[in-house]
Amino acid sequence: MLIISACLAGETCRYTGDGFNDYPELRWLVESGQAMPVCPEVLGGAPVPRDPCEIRGGDGFDVLDGRARVYTNHGEDKTNVFLTGAREVLGVARQYGARTAVLKERSPSCGSSLIYDGSFSGKRVPGCGCTAAILVRAGLNVCSEENYWQKVCFVKK
The pLDDT averaged over each successive group of 10 residues in the chain (157 residues) is 97 98 94 97 99 99 99 99 99 97 98 98 98 97 88 50
Structure confidence at residue 149 (pLDDT)? 75
Structure confidence at residue 75 (pLDDT)? 99
Structure confidence at residue 148 (pLDDT)? 84
- In order, the DSSP letters of the chain are -EEEEGGGGT-S-STTS----S-HHHHHHHHTTSEEEE-HHHHTT--SS---EEEESS-HHHHHTTS-EEEETT--B-HHHHHHHHHHHHHHHHHHT--EEEE-TB-TTT-SSEEE-SSSS--EEE---HHHHHHHHTT-EEEETTTGGGT------
Model pTM score: 0.94
Cα–Cα–Cα angle for 105, 4, 140, rounded to 5 degrees: 85
69-72 and 53-56: which strand pairing? antiparallel
- Pick left, alpha or beta for residue 126 (phi over 0 → left; psi -120 to 50 → alpha; otherwise beta): beta
Cα distance between residue 78 and residue 27, in whole Å = 29
